[in-house]
Chain A
């Protein structure tokens, strides 16, 4: 048990290290010189050389990578090209807003996804199910920012119920959270629904019926629990979608947060900030999936058996 946990943690650390390297390579190795970006296109050769020396980009890629890693180990993500403040403090200031947005959206997604999934499975084939399936098809086929724009048009412009943009406070957060949650809820809803429909035909349901258990209890306690197990894995994958979605939603609703900071940094060609933000997203993704992986032992007794046999 402990060995397995240790193993998973090590693998995750390896993946994080790999992601750090990949992000570094993408942002530093590909064409596009940071010094030229900072100094501007019309800067003289000397200025560019000067900036290059100041940024340390005149060194070899290997040397830059080494110093980046050394900084990283000490919790240093570099310095912003634009504001000259440390990337860590700049991103740390933005982290709570993004964390709040993604967590709230995640709760909405789970509520909507599991709720609608269960209800559609219960009403399988009836109009409720069909409406949910049709609506969810549209939800996943819309660009998330368009869904957000439509919500603004309907709830803010037409009905005037909610403010269009704004930071802090509960009211301006309703639309962003709902939009992000709705987009992410669709895969959950489908998985819960399909899982429950499949589960209803499993032999154990017959056994439970034969034991005289009520349909309600079978449905909500046994079948639902079994359907939720793969849903937890999916939730881990969806964290990536949530983080990607946060970039777009924060930009659309002009909210504070890491996503909007990233987009701002991109327009200013502020590479250390972009690099740091993507790094934070990747690390969160890996950590959440590590947790999901470890929680399996606790959620699904079958994996416990499998690991003790060493099949996984």
Chain B
């Protein structure tokens, strides 16, 4: 359902002007440098005409979709390095408060400006990457694991097991996801663990529904009956045959799910139910900046931009995976 930019690349194969094909090389580093503002300039084209022609030839073979995937990977790599080693990337410490630099507009000293405490917004965004990424990845691991187990069991077993599990999922789905996450985090209290738990519980039904359908269609294939006849246990069939047949679907859903989880997690932070002040995630930064909206647009704009860049990248990757593996959406 959440296909992102599905046919943008596929359709535009050869019809775009060359300018667009050259864009990848130019945009890829520029994207990163826009975030880092490091003075890295684009690689110089050497004098040899043959070499540059080779590069041009290579570039003109790239489809827009591949380019987008490349950019997404770069963004992901950058966010990942922010999450792993923020101190190497951020120019300041997230705890540095400077009373002489409160709500300073973006400039040479602070690329993203400073917040109401005189903290460097860029530094805060870099340090927030870890929280947001942790929420996205772990929420998907949990929800995907549980949802896939429920879905596969229901679809493969069929009969009353299927009925009971799916009725349960119906009920689960009847509570809108964010509201369920709100209810859970209200009871559990705000913290990173609880945010992850709340986000993943709310996301489980979707995986279960889709995987149940997949498992049902696999179950009716002759080779399942053959393995049963050959004496394979149900567990072995589920693990060796049904699960591998659904793996592409799982991969695509999980990739797209990372984006969704980050969004729900940031929504919880916005409502004051998410990660606390000590290690602010992007959603929390955004919420903080909201009070200074009219005087300091940068405090809300950059954290939001970070969320969006990450989620767009994840969605693009998910779509690329889908296009790659799903024969139905391939040519259009």
Contact = CB atoms under 8 A, between A and B. Distances in A.
Interface of A: 14-16, 18-19, 21-23, 26-27, 30-32, 124-125, 129-130, 133-134, 136-138, 140-146, 149-150, 152-153, 157, 164, 187, 190-191, 194, 197, 234, 240-241, 243-245, 247-248, 251-252, 262-263, 266-267, 269, 271, 274, 277-278, 281-282, 285-286
B331 to A, nearest CB: 11
B240 interface: no
Contacts of B187: 26-27, 30-32
Given A30-B187, A133-B6, A146 B300 contact: yes
Nearest to B263: A143
A145 B183 contact: no
Nearest to A267: B272
A15 B171 CA distance: 5
Contact of B176 (A22, A30, A190, A281): A281
A243 B184 CA distance: 17
A240 B1 contact: no
B175 A247 contact: no
B113 to A, nearest CB: 14
Interface majority SS (helix, strand, loop, mixed), chain B:
helix
Interface string B191-210: 00000000000000000000
Given A18-B174, A153-B293, A145 B270 contact: yes
Interface majority SS (helix, strand, loop, mixed), chain A:
helix
A248 B270 CA distance: 8
Given A18-B174, A27-B187, 13 more contacts: A15-B167, A26-B180, A27-B186, A137-B4, A140-B2, A141-B263, A143-B286, A150-B301, A194-B3, A241-B176, A278-B180, A281-B176, A286-B174
B11 A15 contact: no
Contacts of A243: 176, 179
B92 interface: no
B70 interface: no
Contact of A149 (B184, B272, B300): B300
A221 B311 CA distance: 37
B266 interface: yes
Interface of B: 1-8, 11-12, 15, 167-168, 170-180, 182-184, 186-189, 259, 263, 266-267, 270-273, 283, 286, 290, 293-294, 297, 300-301, 304, 307-308, 311-312, 315-316, 332
Given A144-B267, A149-B290, A153-B293, A137 B174 contact: no
A244 B147 CA distance: 21
Nearest to A120: B7
A190 B3 contact: yes
Contact of A247 (B1, B271, B300): B271
A266 B186 contact: yes
B175 A23 contact: yes
A262 B181 CA distance: 13
A174 to B, nearest CB: 17
Contacts of A245: 178
B188 A244 contact: no
